[in-house]
């Protein structure tokens, strides 16, 4: 289908296009599927409740024909008789109606699912336009629906005529049977003939359902430009996205810097890396956690905050790089770095105790901490 700008609708509808169409009430629906579900459920209900319905009808006929002439003109007699007749037929009929109602709801929602759209309920003045009405009446879609209807009528009529012809002798024999037997036999015959006609709808449903899905997708197809415009509107312009990412990064950095004063030590590569670690000694089985880390300017800012709040800053280039690349923010360090970090923390705790006059001055850390080769960067 050509557009005014010369582009064709060659692209499959996107998820957003399908969602917007659903919000407007534009979903694939098959009338044939709903009709077949209702008719087949009615036939099944008759199959289950046919005996009870036949007995109720027989009772109503018998009671009606036994009424005397005087009782027919007596309201005091007729009202109880009417109530008894209605009561006898009510339960079989209510059972049938319940089955048909459920089938109608389920059958019409099998294709497209259940959908409630307020936009579809809103009045549209375009529907009142005679020109648009004529287009709908004499358009391609109307022609397709007309041909489908003619084909359905011819097909179902052919099946119905064949069924009547094949059961013609059986139908004639009903007149020679007793009332009870004739009613039961007639109901059984109607049931199986009705079931056969309902089953004849299944080939129509098998053709109509894929057609409705294909037609719905065809109507929602998009041009390449529409896909690009939708992506741009959804994802945003590159400069806007860049600014959003920058603001998000700044907010994350501010939250991270607020955690630096709670750290026990900051391990640094003097020029590029800084990693702030916190260890909860009172928590059994706890491991050191990375509360802040950064490169270059962020690393410098972490060191400045650490010195401001008197958090020890230890230079260990290999360990700083290993923790930075192996551990995410707010996560525990890997097992392979426990020994090296433990030596750092032990040195810091001894240093803090010595500064408080509670111990000897710790031995300076070795330059080569035990860092496994797989963590060295």
Mean pLDDT for 254-278 is 84
pLDDT at residue 132 in the model: 67
Helix ranges (DSSP H) in the chain: 15-23, 31-66, 69-72, 75-109, 118-121, 130-138, 140-166, 168-173, 179-199, 201-220, 224-235, 238-259, 296-308, 317-326, 338-355
pLDDT at residue 287 in the model: 82
Between residues 180 and 95, the one the model is more confident about: 95
Mean pLDDT for 32-47 is 84
Mean pLDDT for 142-152 is 81
The whole model's pTM is what? 0.47
245, burial (CB in 10 Å: exposed 0-12, middle 13-18, buried 19+): exposed
pLDDT bin (cut points 50, 70, 90) of residue 4 is very low
Cα–Cα distance for residue pair 92/98, rounded to 1 Å: 10
pLDDT at residue 370 in the model: 82
Best-predicted range by mean pLDDT among 71-75, 92-96, 213-217? 213-217
Name which CATH class applies to 260-375: alpha beta
pLDDT bin (cut points 50, 70, 90) of residue 160 is confident
Which has the minimum average pLDDT: 77-91, 141-155, 177-191?
77-91
Cα–Cα distance for residue pair 74/228, rounded to 1 Å: 80
Which has the minimum average pLDDT: 40-54, 159-173, 259-273?
40-54
Mean pLDDT for 159-167 is 88
The structural domains of the chain, with segments of one domain joined by +, span 15-233, 260-375
pLDDT at residue 70 in the model: 66
In eight-state DSSP terms, residue 365 is: P
């Amino acid at each position: 289908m050509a557009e005014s700008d010369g582009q064709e609708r060659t692209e499959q509808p996107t998820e957003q296009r399908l969602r917007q169409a659903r919000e407007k009430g534009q979903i694939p629906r098959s009338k044939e599927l709903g009709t077949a579900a209702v008719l087949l459920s009615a036939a099944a209900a008759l199959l289950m409740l046919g005996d009870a319905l036949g007995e109720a009808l027989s009772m109503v006929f018998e009671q009606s024909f036994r009424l005397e002439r005087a009782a027919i003109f007596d309201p005091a007699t007729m009202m109880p008789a009417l109530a008894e007749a209605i009561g006898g037929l009510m339960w079989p009929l209510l059972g049938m109606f319940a089955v048909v109602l459920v089938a109608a709801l389920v059958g019409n929602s099998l294709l497209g699912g259940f959908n409630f759209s307020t936009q579809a309920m809103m009045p549209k003045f375009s529907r009142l336009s005679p020109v648009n009405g004529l287009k709908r009446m004499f358009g391609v879609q109307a022609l397709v629906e007309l041909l489908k209807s003619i084909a359905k009528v011819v097909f179902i009529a052919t099946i119905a005529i064949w069924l009547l012809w094949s059961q013609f002798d059986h139908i004639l024999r009903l007149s020679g049977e007793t009332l009870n037997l004739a009613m039961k036999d007639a109901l059984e015959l109607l049931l199986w003939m009705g079931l056969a006609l309902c089953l004849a709808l299944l080939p129509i449903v098998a053709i109509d359902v894929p057609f409705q899905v294909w037609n719905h997708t065809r109507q929602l197809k998009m041009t390449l430009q529409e896909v690009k415009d939708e992506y741009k509107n959804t994802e945003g312009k590159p400069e806007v996205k860049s600014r959003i990412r920058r603001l998000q990064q700044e907010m994350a950095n501010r939250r991270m810097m607020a955690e630096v004063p709670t750290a026990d030590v900051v391990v640094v590569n003097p020029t590029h890396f800084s990693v702030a670690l916190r260890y909860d000694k009172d928590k059994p089985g706890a491991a050191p956690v990375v509360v802040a880390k950064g490169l270059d300017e962020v690393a410098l800012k972490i060191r400045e905050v650490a010195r401001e709040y008197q958090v020890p800053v230890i230079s260990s280039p290999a360990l700083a790089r290993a923790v930075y690349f192996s551990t995410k923010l707010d996560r525990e360090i890997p097992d392979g770095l426990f020994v090296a970090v433990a030596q750092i923390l032990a040195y810091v705790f001894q240093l803090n105790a010595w500064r408080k006059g509670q111990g000897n001055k710790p031995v300076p850390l070795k330059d080569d901490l035990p860092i496994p080769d797989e963590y060295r960067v």
